């Protein structure tokens, strides 16, 4: 007969005694269980004791997390969190260096536990640590030369404890003094600083910038890009990661008017080439956190283009009009005529109109009007000028080559450039805040100071090449753009290491190759668009959607382990959520490590009735996400779909659309197997007329 579900068999340790095997009744108060354990070892004052996990986590057992105890768990009887916090609060103020060091080491370890952290913070422990950093370390700086290892360890443990305590989100970051910020900044600015102190100082600065606007301003006054650059030139990837994280935080929180200035400083300090040499092309693998920080830097850099992308051209602005004149001059090398007579003016206007038509503008008389749509706004004109100046031969070749074709076969350079710029901005998500979880950085964008412009130059030549391969006419413009987008997207997924490698990938993705890929991935497009197939899809679709809905709900019932994101985005803790089998309640709770298999409902202490859920919001619609950016939803769309299904709403995620397309395609292929090589008519065959009599019917009776 299996033991009752509320009884858990554990082993409990106590220093100097044999471990005790014990059955814990989860229905009894925790204090009663602790008293029973203390009585077994004849220990008085049971209220001064607590139970904790005997593994490396050493986390305290509380009423809230006691359901996590499993059969066979090893626990340890120890002093209570309040007692421990009081003792450590006194010990870290000891006049003995050795005692102080040992106490800080214990504090750094125990501060990871939220139960202990709350007790220590209640004793104003955070303030004590900041005072020690601000002034307490000064006492020992004279001893640093003769006791450097001891001093370094002491400061390292102090900062570690501070970081762990702040990560629980109990204390606001706005409470810290300028003196503390200056001290932390000095550890970063000082050369030859201990690695562990440097790493924790960078982590503190990043959290300050991300979590407080006032602290951002103070940190920005103390830290310069020039002081951070040397940390990227070392070999420690963790230090490099935290350094880029601080740069990203300063970049992200900078006012709009300061971002371009900061970008100019980054360019002057050659940040891009330093990252390329010392991080991306270093002889070691890039871990996930570094990949995330490189992705964030890539997004923030491209977002500097948003202002130009959303700026309309002013047709009356002569400086802007001069850019168009320059495009014409480079293409046709036209010399301005000094004669200002009315006759020559008319001739000049006629010549300009003809040339602007050759350049592929929609508005031949006033091409400035082509740049009044946002996006891409003035960014398209910037790209065209860059291409004309830095790739002049290719620019002239494309313009002259197309101007010599028949009107309907020319690839309009102006219109193509505008649409291509808009498309590239969509692909790179220019203007969107970086995702909290994405690691999708592209090494090739770190190989050039003007990577977006070079990206455009490669793609505009690809567009012209694809246009010729497709033998396109003006009516095919949108089809060509769709093919070019597919070529670019497929090349980007291979993560080319340089722009030249990206160009080579595109060379192998000709229009013919794209057609082959499309053919291998799906049935002939014409068959899918025929009327009978569309009607069949319409009939099958509700069944497929119901199948997807059931799969989503089954996944919710199984449950999912999620990584918790703290204020510094370090994904080192977990929480688990699952739906009850009757689809009425969501059970969730914190975990210390990723579980192997399902987590039972009774071990998840928190509950949320489905009836209490009013709506599901994602990304920028989430109030708590507005400051941090839009959380990329791909990883969680099974849950957003499932929750929407529970609420009786449509499943709108991209994953649902992809699943629907895949399953519909498979089902249709299966149903059409018997009709292979048979032409399906667009219209159903006519129903024959009724026979004149039914004498041919055989009567079984």
Residue-wise pLDDT tens digits, 128-147: 999 999 875 555 455 454 44
**pLDDT at site 668:** 85
Distance CA 497, CA 445 (A): 9
pLDDT at 142: 52
In angstroms, the Cα distances linking 13 to 20, 75, 89, 625 are 6, 6, 26, 44
> Residue 431: CB partners within 8 Å, gap ≥ 6?
303, 306, 309, 310, 375, 425
Label residue 656 exposed, middle or buried (CB < 10 Å: 0-12, 13-18, 19+): buried
Q: What is the model's pLDDT at position 626?
A: 40
Burial class from Cβ neighbours inside 10 Å (0-12, 13-18, 19+) for residue 310 reads: middle
List, in order of start, the domains of the chain with CATH numbers.
7-79 (3.10.20.90), 96-301 (1.25.10.10), 318-334+345-521 (no CATH), 533-674 (2.30.29.30)
Phi, psi of 334 (to 5 degrees): -80, 135
7-13 and 74-79 beta bridge pairing: parallel
Cα 527 from Cα 681, distance rounded (Å): 11
Q: Which of 54, 56, 25, 43 is nearest to 83 (CA)?
A: 43
Please indicate whether residue 413 or residue 138 has the higher confidence score (pLDDT): 413
Instruction: Quick: pLDDT tens for 552-607.
Output: 999 999 988 887 766 555 555 788 899 999 999 999 888 767 676 778 777 787 88
Residue-wise pLDDT tens digits, 506-549: 999 999 999 988 877 655 555 566 778 888 889 999 999 999 99
Q: Is the pLDDT of residue 319 over 70?
A: yes
**Does residue 184 surpass a pLDDT of 90?**
yes
Residue 651: name the closest of 548, 565, 503 by CA.
548
Contact of 119 with 97, CB cutoff 8 Å: no
Q: Are 211 and 169 in contact (CB under 8 A)?
A: no
**Residues 97, 146: Cα–Cα separation, whole Å:** 13
Above pLDDT 90, what percent of the chain? 61
pLDDT score of 535: 85
Mean pLDDT value across the chain: 87
């Amino acid at each position: 007969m299996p033991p009752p579900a509320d009884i858990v068999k554990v082993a409990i340790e106590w220093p100097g005694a044999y471990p005790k095997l014990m059955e814990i009744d989860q229905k009894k108060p925790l204090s009663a269980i602790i008293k029973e354990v203390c009585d077994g070892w004849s220990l008085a004052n049971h209220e001064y004791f607590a139970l904790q996990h005997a593994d490396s986590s050493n986390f305290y057992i509380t009423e809230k997390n006691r359901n996590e105890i499993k059969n066979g768990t090893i626990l340890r009887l120890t002093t209570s969190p309040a007692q421990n916090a009081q003792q450590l609060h006194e010990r870290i103020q000891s006049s003995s260096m050795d005692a102080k060091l040992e106490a800080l080491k214990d504090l750094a370890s125990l501060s990871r536990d939220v139960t202990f952290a709350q007790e220590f913070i209640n004793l104003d422990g955070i303030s004590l640590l900041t005072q020690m950093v601000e002034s307490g370390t000064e006492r020992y700086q004279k001893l640093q030369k003769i006791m450097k290892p001891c001093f370094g360890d002491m400061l390292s443990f102090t900062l570690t404890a501070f970081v762990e305590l702040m990560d629980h989100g109990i204390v606001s970051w706005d409470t810290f003094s300028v003196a503390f910020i200056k001290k932390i900044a000095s550890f970063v600015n000082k050369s030859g600083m201990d690695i562990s102190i440097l790493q924790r100082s960078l982590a503190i600065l990043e959290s300050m910038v991300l979590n407080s606007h006032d602290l951002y301003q103070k940190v920005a006054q103390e830290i310069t890009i020039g002081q951070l650059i040397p940390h990227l030139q070392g070999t420690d990837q963790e230090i490099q990661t935290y350094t880029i994280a601080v740069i990203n935080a300063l970049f992200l929180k900078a006012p709009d008017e300061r971002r371009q200035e900061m970008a100019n400083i980054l360019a002057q300090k050659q940040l891009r080439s330093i990252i390329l040499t010392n991080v991306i092309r270093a002889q070691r693998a890039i871990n996930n956190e570094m990949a995330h920080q490189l992705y964030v830097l890539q997004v923030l850099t491209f977002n500097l283009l948003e202002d130009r992308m959303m700026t309309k051209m002013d047709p009356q602005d002569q400086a802007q009009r001069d850019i168009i004149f320059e495009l014409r001059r480079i293409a046709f090398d036209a010399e301005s005529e000094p004669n200002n007579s009315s006759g020559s003016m008319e001739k000049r206007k006629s010549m300009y109109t003809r040339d602007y038509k050759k350049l592929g503008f929609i508005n031949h008389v006033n091409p400035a009007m082509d740049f009044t749509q946002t996006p891409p706004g003035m960014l398209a004109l910037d790209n065209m000028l860059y291409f004309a100046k830095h790739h002049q031969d290719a620019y002239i070749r494309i313009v002259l080559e197309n101007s010599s074709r028949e009107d309907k076969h020319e690839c309009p350079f102006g219109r193509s450039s505008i649409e291509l710029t808009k498309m590239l901005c969509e692909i790179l998500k220019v203007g969107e805040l970086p995702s909290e979880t994405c690691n999708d950085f592209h090494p090739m964008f770190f190989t050039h100071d003007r990577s977006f412009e070079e990206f455009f130059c490669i793609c505009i030549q690809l567009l012209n090449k694809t246009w010729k391969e497709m033998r396109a006419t003006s009516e095919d413009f949108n089809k060509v753009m769709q093919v070019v987008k597919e070529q670019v997207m497929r090349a980007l997924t291979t993560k080319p290491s340089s722009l030249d490698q990206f160009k080579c990938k595109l060379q192998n993705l000709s229009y013919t190759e794209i057609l082959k890929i499309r053919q291998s991935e799906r049935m002939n497009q014409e068959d899918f668009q025929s009327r009978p197939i569309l009607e069949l899809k319409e009939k099958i679709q509700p069944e497929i959607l119901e199948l997807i809905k059931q799969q989503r709900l089954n996944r919710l019932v199984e449950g999912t382990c999620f990584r918790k994101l703290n204020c510094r985005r370090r994904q080192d803790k977990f929480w688990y959520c699952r739906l009850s089998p009757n689809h009425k309640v969501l059970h969730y709770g914190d975990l210390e490590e990723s579980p192997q298999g399902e987590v039972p409902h009774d071990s998840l202490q928190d509950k949320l009735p489905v009836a209490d859920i009013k709506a599901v919001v994602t990304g920028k619609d989430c109030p708590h996400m507005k400051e941090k950016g839009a959380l990329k939803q791909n990883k969680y769309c099974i849950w957003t779909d499932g929750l929407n299904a529970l609420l009786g709403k449509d499943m709108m995620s991209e994953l649902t659309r992809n699943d629907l397309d895949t399953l519909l395609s498979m089902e249709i292929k299966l149903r059409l197997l018997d009709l292979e090589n048979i032409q399906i008519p667009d219209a159903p065959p006519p129903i024959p007329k009724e026979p004149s009599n039914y004498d041919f019917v055989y009567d079984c009776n």
